A and B are shown apart, each in its own frame.
Chain A
Amino acid sequence: MLLIYCPYCEEERPELEFRHAGEAHIARPANIAEISDEEFERYFFIRSNPKGITFERWRHVHGCGRFFNAARDTVSDRFLATYKAGEPKPDLSGKGAKT
């Protein structure tokens, strides 16, 4: 079982308490009514799906209930960092893709 560090509970907790909640750092356009269908599609549907480091939202749904963000390596499934919602992406230099 994976252990995931919850930045609100300040400790590692078993993955069964968490739920994945999609890609992180996707900003909703401020002028959402004015953008074209193509721009809306890009915002709403298109996700990066990288091989390597990805930034995701997670929710500690069976714990403190909070959403937070995580940097995870999609190759190794390793969590590189977790941080509170609203905080900027962490500096991951030196933590590159490990297998």
Chain B
Amino acid sequence: MAEIARREPALEGRACQGQGISLSPAAPASRLSLRAPEASLAGLSQALSLDLPRRPKSSATKGPRAALWLGPDEWLVIDEEEADLAAICAAVPALHSAVDISHRNVGILVSGARAEEVLNSGCPQDLSSRAFPVGAASRTVFGKAEIVLWRTGEEAFRVECWRSFSDYVFSFLEAAARETS
């Protein structure tokens, strides 16, 4: 009998609603770990139809697609319509490394008036909108886990963590949502 693999989304059915805070798993998306030198950025930007950001802690968004600056030659590209990002980059002859990490990461949406405060329970960065404005994105830590944090709105953040850490990160956020007020 043929065995058919069933893909189980991490955090299926998990959600948390509280006073001024809402936590929910993000919908599936395609993701790319992209590394490239300065000389390749024009070609890659054109293929991805967005300008890969050059400034630290910044991001660029175009429709369902976003590129988050992680380091001087490193980006996390997320496409919420699950476009085949690796195939798009494969058509670019310029030197680069593009690794599909769609299923390595899990996205968690954190929103509400208390979003900053709940995230700050595990993340040591200054998340005030002066230091971390809408569009800011950074790799950082949340408790014991490494995350990528992206501010998508005044009161909305997206947390990207590794799939195996997602239960830990979500549970930590839930506890923080319950405890702070």
The smallest C-beta distance from B87 to any residue of chain A, in angstroms, reads: 26
Quick one: closest B residue to A84, CB to CB?
A: B72
Q: In the bound complex, do residue B146 and residue A64 qualify as a contact, i.e. CB atoms below 8 Å apart?
A: no
Overall SS of chain A's interface: loop
Cross-interface CB contact of B72 among A1, A11, A66, cutoff 8 Å: A66
Q: In whole angstroms, how far apart are the Cα atoms of A9 and B56 in the complex? A: 5
The smallest C-beta distance from A60 to any residue of chain B, in angstroms, reads: 8
Residues in B neighbouring A8, C-beta threshold 8 A: 56, 71-72
> Can you give 30 contacting A-B residue pairs, CB < 8 Å?
A1-B124, A8-B56, A8-B71, A8-B72, A9-B56, A9-B57, A9-B138, A10-B56, A11-B56, A13-B125, A13-B140, A14-B124, A14-B125, A16-B124, A16-B141, A17-B140, A17-B141, A62-B139, A62-B146, A63-B139, A63-B140, A64-B56, A64-B70, A64-B71, A64-B72, A64-B74, A64-B139, A65-B70, A65-B139, A66-B71
Per-position binary interface string of chain A over residues 58-89, scored 1 when its CB falls under 8 Å from any chain B CB and 0 otherwise: 00001111100000000000000000000000
The smallest C-beta distance from A34 to any residue of chain B, in angstroms, reads: 35
Q: Total interface residues on B, using CB and 8 Å?
A: 13
Residues in B neighbouring A65, C-beta threshold 8 A: 70-71, 74, 139
Quick one: closest A residue to B74, CB to CB?
A: A65
Q: In whole angstroms, how far apart are the Cα atoms of A14 and B127 in the complex? A: 12
Chain A residues with CB under 8 Å of chain B are 1, 8-11, 13-14, 16-17, 62-66
Residues in B neighbouring A16, C-beta threshold 8 A: 124, 141
Overall SS of chain B's interface: strand
Residues in A neighbouring B72, C-beta threshold 8 A: 8, 64, 66
Chain B residues with CB under 8 Å of chain A are 56-57, 70-72, 74, 124-125, 138-141, 146
Quick one: closest A residue to B145, CB to CB?
A: A62
Quick one: closest B residue to A66, CB to CB?
A: B71
List the 8 closest pairs (A to B, CB-CB), nearest first.
A14-B124, A64-B71, A9-B56, A65-B71, A62-B141, A16-B124, A62-B146, A16-B141
Residues in A neighbouring B56, C-beta threshold 8 A: 8-11, 64
Quick one: closest B residue to A12, CB to CB?
A: B126
Residues in A neighbouring B141, C-beta threshold 8 A: 16-17, 62
